[in-house]
Structure 1
Amino acid sequence: MADDVLVLIDQQKAMRHPQWGPRNNPGAEENIGRLLAAWRMGGAPIVHVKHDGTRPGSPFRPGHEGNDFLEPTAPRPGETVVAKRVHSAFIGTDLTMRLEAMGRPRLVICGVLLANSVEASVRNAANLGFTVLLPGDACWSCDKRDLTGRLWPAEDVHQLTLALLDGEYATVTTTDAVLNAKT
């Protein structure tokens, strides 16, 4: 696992915007921080994916505070930052090329929102032939209203998304399992 790449999705101040509504997994940021600390300690490769929103009013728009990284997981000098303009970290970026130059390592993907940018990135990674570990407790989800008007609680959205990704697109795991396998 020493050569695994940690990919952090959208760890930006915009995720604190009230537009997202109620969320689950209040420990996600702590788990993301634990993964990041382990990768840094081991000198393993890290990719910070940053969303540069293009829609008017997007809290992710460059030049606005929401575009800034969250302090606890902000990149350090020398760590790779990939800016994306759509949901997937693989579309319109050089991420695939960077990973191929590293020998197509296994990816550990975490961040937010699980049923949005994380899911899009995991699916694309798998479709490109990468092996993906997805620590579900290092991601979080928000309540979501479906097209019939039913409101799905964040935890239900989270668990269903993990179930849809597990096996075909990623191996869903936990932060502890990833960290235990690293030692």
Structure 2
Amino acid sequence: MEITQNAALVVVDVQKGFDDAEFWGARDNPAADGNIASLIEAWQESDRPVVFVRHDSDEPGSPLRIGCEGNDFKEYVEGRRGKGRGPELLVTKSVNSAFYGTPDLDAWFKAAGVSQVVLAGIQTNMCVETTARMGGNLGYDMLVALDATHTFDLTGPNGWHLTAGELARASAVSLHGGGFARMVTTGELVTAVRC
């Protein structure tokens, strides 16, 4: 796997509010947090750009609302911010796609000559998937570190219920099959950037 020297790692919504199991329900992939931390460290050690995305929810009752502790990044993310020598950006948003945040992520990528983007974070089938789809449509080489994401069980129309694991697999199949993004592992990425 080839990772360009200016490939950007986009860390999506790794916020304390997602630890509220009573609000979100059952989740998948307990290894996600460790894998996200490994990616941030590898990117910072190799002086590559890192983008931290924070969801500032405007939904009443959401644990991700501005002013709530749940809006804050998890400690292992907050503790790494500003530690790398490569470019770093904070994007805030209130919708699913990091490309509809502030500042303009697409403009920042274009100014920095970024053409390859690696995604990690929360939730696999929501903000990670939406950002991957939009990035693919914008022409970026999108890679999703699936084992560095997680999501939650969800019930949809007609009482259809999917587990978090089923939703993650559905996202991976849709993104890969639709040509929006390639699915990769944390191990593959860390090895590639440390070669």
Q: TM-score, normalised by structure 1?
A: 0.95
5 Å matches for 1:1-183? 1=3, 2-17=5-20, 18-74=22-78, 75-77=80-82, 79-93=88-102, 94-167=104-177, 168-182=179-193, 183=195
Structure 2 unmatched ranges of 5 or more: none
Q: Which runs of 4+ in 1 moved over 4 A?
A: none
Kept after mapping to 1: 8 A contact 2:99/2:131? yes
What per-residue deviation string (whole Å, max 9, x for no partner) do you get for residues 39-93 of structure 1?
1111110000001111111211111101111010125237311001111101143
Structure 1 unmatched ranges of 5 or more: none
- 1:76 match: secondary structure: coil
Q: For 2:159 and 2:47, how far apart are their aligned partners in 1? A: 47
Q: For 2:127 and 2:75, how far apart are their aligned partners in 1? A: 20
- 2:66 match: secondary structure: coil
Identical amino acids, percent of aligned pairs: 37
- 1:126 match: secondary structure: helix
- 1:60 match: secondary structure: coil
Q: For 2:12 and 2:81, how far apart are their aligned partners in 1? A: 16
Q: For 1:146 and 1:64, how far apart are their aligned partners in 2? A: 28
**Matched pairs, number:** 183
Structure 1 residues 43 and 103: CA distance shift in structure 2, 3 A = same
